[in-house]
Amino acid sequence: MKRLIRSFAMAACVAAAAIGPAQAQSSEDTPELKSEYRFVMIPILAQAWFDIVHNAAASSAEKLSKQLGTNITIDYQAPAQADLGEQNTLLERAIATNPDGIAIDAIDVNASMPIIKEAQDRGIPIVLFVSTAPQGSQLTYISNDFYDQGRILGEELLKRIDNKGKVAIMHGVPTNSAHADRYKALTDLFEKNADIEVVDTAYDMDDVQKAQTEASRILAANPDLDAIAVVDAAGPVGVGLALREADRVGEVAYVGIDDVPQLQQLMREGVLDLSIATRPRMIGEWSTITLLLQNLGIDTPSWIDTGIGYMTPDMVAEGNIDGF
């Protein structure tokens, strides 16, 4: 089914590229291809992983502009921190400028739905990236299966401690659906294993500094800790820095999430040997493509699944890879 969905989306994009300005203007049933589009992109917060998403969205906009003879720009507006009120304010301001589309990773999609609905009522296309669309919302969301990603990470972590021991969990932004899905997968897995004891849970709010601070606290409070599980891109960077600071690399197991440059550096330094990575480049590219398709009156799938990548030390030995 996932392959069918992605194939459909690709076919729709090809169809859009084939329209061209002259052909689009010749049909009353086909929306006219405009000379320019401005899409607003709003992440959870300003952070390295979202920089990859943004850069990919902008690159996709540039390619499509050249292909179609139009000018697509990405207006990137990142909150300083993961704060629902600040993000909703940015969303309201974006709507007021009447953009041609908005892509948003919602901190709390249910809490933001009234504002998202306002944008839809004004005819502004909306897509969610990373966030899962509420059932019945008819919104397209672009992501991988985050529960599955959390399960894979948890299973790899358990292999490294022989399925027994004391584990702490570094949660992210609890209201964000991706972080919540990974956290649920981890707790479901650990609950099934009688030899695993979850001794602590902290929240990093997808912020590297907070993750390092909380990981340092957990390590100091649990000298016999066997592993730390993470659920967001900032978590493994902060945990790795804390482990190195406490001189406990190799003593406390962990597996990464995502592929930000700081994580790749830690992998080269031998702090961790695996990361179960989301595919931020594809998420950014498809955010632009999806908004353009909706502007052209082409329906898009409810879920565009970008899949899961596995990052290992051999892949980054010669330097950072440019995301998946």
Q: At what angle do helices 280-295 and 48-68 cross, to 10 degrees?
A: 40
Give tens-digit pLDDT for 7-61: 444 544 544 444 444 343 344 567 789 999 999 999 999 999 999 999 999 999 9
Tens place of pLDDT for every residue, the chain, 324 residues?
Answer: 344 344 444 544 544 444 444 343 344 567 789 999 999 999 999 999 999 999 999 999 999 999 999 999 999 999 999 999 999 999 999 999 999 999 999 999 999 999 999 999 999 999 999 999 998 888 999 999 999 999 999 999 999 999 999 999 999 999 999 999 999 999 999 999 999 999 999 999 999 999 999 999 999 999 999 999 999 999 999 999 999 999 999 999 999 999 999 999 999 999 999 999 989 999 999 999 999 999 999 999 999 999 999 999 999 999 998 877
Q: What is the pLDDT at residue 135?
A: 87
Distances (CA, A) of 45 to 54, 75, 172, 276, 314: 12, 15, 12, 21, 30
Region for residue 69 given its phi and psi (left: phi exceeds 0; alpha: psi -120 to 50; beta: otherwise)? left
Q: What is the pLDDT of residue 322?
A: 80
- Token pair for 43: 């992440």
Residue 121: C-alpha distances to residues 39, 114, 115, 214, 224 (Å): 17, 10, 10, 42, 55
What's the pLDDT score for residue 191? 97
User: Looking at residue 29, what is its pLDDT?
Assistant: 64
Q: Say whether 97 sits in a helix, a strand or coil.
A: coil
Phi-psi region of 318 (alpha: psi -120 to 50; beta: other; left: phi over 0): alpha
Q: How many CA atoms lie within 13 A of 205 on its CB side?
A: 11
How far is 235 from 206, CA to CA, in rounded Å?
7
**How many residues comprise the chain?**
324
pLDDT of residue 314: 96
Its pTM stands at: 0.85
CA pair distance 139, 301, nearest whole angstrom: 9
Q: For helices 208-221 and 234-245, what crossing angle results, to 10°?
A: 50
Q: Which helix (H) or strand (E) holds 237?
A: helix 234-245
Residues facing 202 on adjacent strands: 170
